Structure 1
Amino acid sequence: MASINTQNRGYSLIELCVCTAVSSVLLGLALPSIEHIKQRQRLAAAAETLMTDLQEARSLAVSRADSVQVRFNRHPNGSCYIVHTGSTGECQCNANGETVCSNDDRVLKRTWIPSSQKLELRSNVSSFSFQARQGAVTSTGSIDIQSVDGESIRHIVSIAGRVRTCSPSGGIRHYPRC
C-alpha cells in the first residue's frame, strides 16, 4: 500500500488572502497616524527655522551696526518671510514666492512655505525691524505657524528683540501653553 504524504509544504491561497486582507486593514489604520506625525514634524521644522532666523536677524543687526528687517507676506499659494537690510518696506514676496526688492543686494534670506506643505504663516505685524545698538525691535508682535489640522506654534518677539515660543493649543510637546 502506498503512503500518502499529508505534510503541508506551503500556504494555501485562502491563507494568503486572509493575511493580505489583515495587513491591508492594519496599514489603512496606520496611514492617517503616519501623516499626522509627518505634518507635526513639518510644523516643528518650520517653527525652528523661523526661530533661528529671527535670532540671527537680531544678531546681524548688532554685529553689522545696521538695522535688519524681517518682512512677512501671505498669498493663496503660500506664506513667506524675508530677512533683509535697508528700509522696512523695501522687500516683499510675490504670489509665486519670489523676492521683490528695490535693491536685491540687501536680501539676507528668504523662506517660502508653499501651501502644498499644509502650513500657514500668520503674523500680527507686517514686519519687524531689529535695531543696530542692542538688537531691540521697533514693533513687538507674534508669528503663528499653523497646520491645517489646527495645531500651531507661536513665536512672540519682545521689545528687547528676544523671542519666546509657545503653543496656543498646548498640545505640542516641548512647547508650553501660551
Structure 2
Amino acid sequence: MHKGSAAARGFTLIETMATVAVAGIVMTAAVPSLHGYVDQQRLKGIAGELSSDLQHARSEALLRNEGVRVTFNGNACYVVHTGAADRCRCDANGIGRCDEGPAPLKTVALPAAQGIALHANVRSVLFAPEHGTASPMATLRLTGPQGRTLQHTVNLMGRVRSCAAHGAMAGYAAC
C-alpha cells in the first residue's frame, strides 16, 4: 500500500459551471415542447368531456323518455337540458340558466385562461327519446391555443365520432 497524499476527488468550478450551462440549454429547449404537451392534454380533456356529455344527453333522453338537448352558447359554454333550445343559455359567469321550465342538467364553461374555443355549426342538438336519434346533425370543433383542433361529429343516429382535424393526435385519428 502506498502512503502519500491522495488526489482530491470532486468537480472543479469550471466543470460544475459547464454542467449547469448544458442543463440550462436543455431545459430551455424542453419548455416550449412541455407547454405544447400541456395545451394538447387540456384540449384532449375538454374534448373528452364534450364527447361524454353528448353521449350522456342521448342516454338521458332514452332514460327520461323525453328529449334532451345540448345547446351551445358562443364559443365558451354549453348547456345540457330538457325543453326548447331557446330556453337555456349561459350567463356571464358561465352558469346555465333556463327560462320557465326545467333546470339545466349540466353546464360547461370553457376556462378562458386555457385559450380553448368551441365552434358549433348548430345552435342546439336534440336527442329524441324514442331511439336516441339526433337532430340536426352537428359538427363541433374544439380549437386549442396552438391551433390544434379536435372535432366531434354527431350523426342522425345520435352517435359521436371524434377525430383530429389537422392530422392525427395521440388517441385521435385524422379526420
TM-score (norm 1): 0.89
Please give the alpha-carbon distance, in whole angstroms, between the structure 2 residues aligned to 1:104 and 1:147.
35
Please give the alpha-carbon distance, in whole angstroms, between the structure 2 residues aligned to 1:136 and 1:177.
25
Written as runs of structure 1 = structure 2, the 5 A alignment for 1:89-108 is: 89-103=86-100, 105-108=102-105
> Who is 1:173 aligned against?
170
Deviations 1:56-109 (A, max 9, x none): 10111011011111011226xxx1111011211111112331222225852111
Please give the alpha-carbon distance, in whole angstroms, between the structure 2 residues aligned to 1:32 and 1:7.
43
Say whether the 8 Å CA contact 2:114–2:145 is kept in structure 1.
Answer: no
Q: Secondary structure at the match of 1:177?
A: coil
Moved over 3 A (4+): 3-6
Written as runs of structure 1 = structure 2, the 5 A alignment for 1:20-39 is: 20-39=20-39
> Who is 1:118 aligned against?
115
Q: Secondary structure at the match of 1:40?
A: helix
Query: Do the aligned partners of residues 103 and 20 (structure 1) sit closer, same or farther apart at CA in structure 2, a change above 3 Å counting?
Result: farther
Q: Which moved more, 1:87-96 or 1:54-63?
A: 87-96
Say whether the 8 Å CA contact 1:86–1:106 is kept in structure 2.
Answer: no
Deviations 1:27-79 (A, max 9, x none): 0101111111111111111111111110110111011011111011226xxx1
Gaps (5+ residues) in structure 2?
none
Q: Secondary structure at the match of 1:20?
A: helix
How big is the shift at 1:139? 1.0
Written as runs of structure 1 = structure 2, the 5 A alignment for 1:1-178 is: 5=5, 7-74=7-74, 79-103=76-100, 105-178=102-175
Say whether the 8 Å CA contact 1:60–1:68 is kept in structure 2.
Answer: yes
RMSD over aligned Cα, in angstroms? Answer: 1.9
Please give the alpha-carbon distance, in whole angstroms, between the structure 1 residues aligned to 2:61 and 2:107.
17
The percent of aligned pairs where both chains have the same amino acid is 35
Please give the alpha-carbon distance, in whole angstroms, between the structure 2 residues aligned to 1:27 and 1:7.
34
Q: Secondary structure at the match of 2:74?
A: strand
How big is the shift at 1:17? 1.4
Query: Do the aligned partners of residues 17 and 63 (structure 1) sit closer, same or farther apart at CA in structure 2, a change above 3 Å counting?
Result: same
Q: In the comparison of the two structures, how many residue pairs are matched?
A: 173
Please give the alpha-carbon distance, in whole angstroms, between the structure 1 residues aligned to 2:100 and 2:81.
10
